[in-house]
Structure 1
Amino acid sequence: MPPRHDVAHLGHVELYTPVLDDTVDFFVQFLGLTETGRESDSVFLRAWDDYERTTLKVTGRDTSGVGRTTFRAASPQALDRLVEAIDAGGAGVGWKDGDPGYGPTYLFRDPDGHELGVYYDSEWYRPPAQLTPALKNQAQALPSHGVPVRRLDHVNYLGVDVVANRDFFRDTLGALVTEQIVLDDGSVNGSWTTFTNKGYDAVYTRDHTATPGRLHHLAFAADGRPDILRAADLAIEQGVFIETGPHKHAIQQTFFLYVYEPGGNRIELCHAGARLVLAPDWQPVDWTEAERAKGQAWGLKTIESFHTHGTPPV
């Protein structure tokens, strides 16, 4: 099924943390995000080349995890079609005011219970004088500290039923399924979907605890492999816990580094290189159990915590 392109791209994501100040400091000092505002118990942050006002919303809670994930519709008409499709499937929650810089947002839930939203009206970021870039075709001056990451890349949810969530993204939101993990019994253990020409924007992998609504990781894109390697050195200097990497995934061929932010959420720094999905008739690439048992692309075995750690903790 070809993608409908009613969803333009992944917008911004909300993370919950029990240590708000420490988590914000991680995103500013390690990843190089810029704070753009605060509202109640939430802090709004942006990656330097995001054209929108907010990339990440960090909210203080009693535990970690993922809050609302928003997607921008391709047009007002596309937003209407998405809302109609979501309502027809019974997943709709209703209209809410958007976060600062965003227009009305229609809330809904995936089959796993994750809170999602779709909007169209958006405030383009206008940098203050001290953050005005030398190159007029980028959104903000390149930060001189942190990695720094260019943009939000993807979100990987944990799901009780990967197929139900995959089909919801494909059939209701119009995503393209690009790669999957298919076990020997025929069940799908992971699914990668995209709304753009990237390999993936949203991922579902099976939750070993069968607990709905959890997060595996949130990923930010760096410019190149040297940035990922530098991030590993920077993590050592700043006392950031490295879970695994730097290394290369076999699935999607992403060069990666996984760390934990102070609140316990897993964060990926990634570089997908020039690999794009351009074919309109792309067919999902299925990976078998035996192929996954070989580990990552260059032979590194997948670390055990990659299968067991998710947020909020169970």
Structure 2
Amino acid sequence: MAPPLGDIAHVGHAQLFTPELDASVAFCTDFLGLTVNGQQGDSVFLRTFDDYEHHSLVLTARDRPGLGRTALRTSSEEALHRRVAAVEATGATGTWVEDEPGLGRLYVTTDPDGHEHALYWESEHYVAPTELRPALKNQPQAKPDRGVGVRRLDHVNFLAADVLANAEFQEQVLGARPTEQIRLDSGRIAARWLTFTDKSYDVVYTSDWTGSSGRLHHIAFATDTREDILRAADLAIDTGVFIETGPHKHAIQQTFFLYVYEPGGNRIELCNPLTRLVLAPDWPLITWTEAERAKGQAWGLKTIESFHTHGTPPIV
């Protein structure tokens, strides 16, 4: 039986490893418009202006880029313990830690592919200092006066050796709903999009063509408008940020997108999915065929080859 819808409230934050910590921090603050909200050792904590929690992103110095924790906030203390019990009922294990500012205990476990997930409930609501205090009391922080000014961390796209096994972990253990997928002519599921909320997706699994496990395809930040994506493209070429593909519109999920690389080598998507919600409790899983995907994106742009080959950490 699928777990209760709503035990996972939302994606809380993501952690990226980077061999270029200072440059990655500068990219996040100067280009994305995030705010630094603390540092512990080799980790820097940053936040988007519309996040109510302490941080939206953790950048941690490592020799190679890649994804660390994906943190998921539960809807209650009881929901947290239900999900922990569900994880352990599969035979998997986890560890309780309390090592991030603004948060209580986190239960750290992994999906079948080895991506680290941290489940938690206790979280302090952010209180902006005087210089960042917004004019509107229902907004956590004033909008940034630099960079793109992204609103929130939107989703995480994991590369996986076995998409279906990992998607079923999200569905059967954590309570996500699948919304769209790609099925190849062989019958294998090459990608699946899942949601914990009324957004059309919060996490994605994409087939890793190298057969590797535990790698990252990208993390994505949402903007207010499509025009912000166009402005981001102009800012990118003005400041030397590498554009991989876009601006354009995906066929799957209809997200308006721009893909760039941050200095550490991780792929970052700027996206505008804000107009599309999945409100139907009985939403049917939309399946795209191999032939349909060969047509490219929504307006005919062919999927760039590096989309299938670039992931972090790189294959050596």
Q: What amino acid does structure 2 have at the position aligned with 1:91?
A: A
CA RMSD of aligned residues (A): 0.9
Aligned: 1:295 with 2:296: yes
For residues 298 and 234 of structure 1, the distance between their equivalents in structure 2, rounded to whole angstroms, comes to: 24
CA contact (8 A) 1:2 1:281 kept: no
SS at match of 1:291: helix
Matching residue of 1:121: 122
For residues 2 and 300 of structure 1, the distance between their equivalents in structure 2, rounded to whole angstroms, comes to: 38
* Shift >4 Å, 4+ stretches: none
For residues 61 and 92 of structure 2, the distance between their equivalents in structure 1, rounded to whole angstroms, comes to: 27
Matching residue of 1:150: 151
CA contact (8 A) 2:177 2:195 kept: yes
TM-aligned CA deviation for residue 273 of structure 1: 3.3
The runs of 5 or more residues in structure 2 that have no matched partner are none
SS at match of 1:185: coil
Aligned: 1:26 with 2:27: yes
SS at match of 2:313: coil
- Figure out how many residues of one structure are paired with residues of the other and give that number: 314
Q: What amino acid does structure 2 have at the position aligned with 1:297?
A: A
Aligned: 1:140 with 2:141: yes
Matching residue of 1:179: 180
TM-aligned CA deviation for residue 283 of structure 1: 1.4
SS at match of 2:307: helix
Matching residue of 1:260: 261
CA contact (8 A) 2:3 2:174 kept: no
Q: What amino acid does structure 2 have at the position aligned with 1:200?
A: Y
For residues 5 and 41 of structure 1, the distance between their equivalents in structure 2, rounded to whole angstroms, comes to: 34
For residues 276 and 48 of structure 2, the distance between their equivalents in structure 1, rounded to whole angstroms, comes to: 22
Matching residue of 2:39: 38
CA contact (8 A) 1:149 1:220 kept: yes
For residues 156 and 92 of structure 2, the distance between their equivalents in structure 1, rounded to whole angstroms, comes to: 20
Q: What amino acid does structure 1 have at the position aligned with 2:255?
A: T
Matches within 5 A, 1:48-87: 48-87=49-88
TM-aligned CA deviation for residue 291 of structure 1: 0.4
TM-aligned CA deviation for residue 309 of structure 1: 0.3
Matching residue of 1:7: 8
For residues 293 and 3 of structure 2, the distance between their equivalents in structure 1, rounded to whole angstroms, comes to: 27
TM-score by length of 2: 0.98
Q: What amino acid does structure 1 have at the position aligned with 2:37?
A: T
SS at match of 1:92: coil
Matches within 5 A, 1:132-281: 132-281=133-282
The runs of 5 or more residues in structure 1 that have no matched partner are none
SS at match of 1:145: coil
SS at match of 1:242: strand
For residues 93 and 67 of structure 2, the distance between their equivalents in structure 1, rounded to whole angstroms, comes to: 19
TM-score by length of 1: 0.99
| Per-residue CA distance 1:94-138 (angstroms, 9 max, x = gap) | 211141100000011000001111000001100000000001111
SS at match of 1:80: helix
Q: What amino acid does structure 2 have at the position aligned with 1:93?
A: G
TM-aligned CA deviation for residue 274 of structure 1: 1.4
For residues 3 and 102 of structure 2, the distance between their equivalents in structure 1, rounded to whole angstroms, comes to: 32
TM-aligned CA deviation for residue 174 of structure 1: 0.5
| Per-residue CA distance 1:55-81 (angstroms, 9 max, x = gap) | 000000000000011100000110110
CA contact (8 A) 1:70 1:118 kept: yes
For residues 173 and 99 of structure 2, the distance between their equivalents in structure 1, rounded to whole angstroms, comes to: 22
Q: What amino acid does structure 1 have at the position aligned with 2:153?
A: L
SS at match of 1:277: coil
Matching residue of 1:110: 111
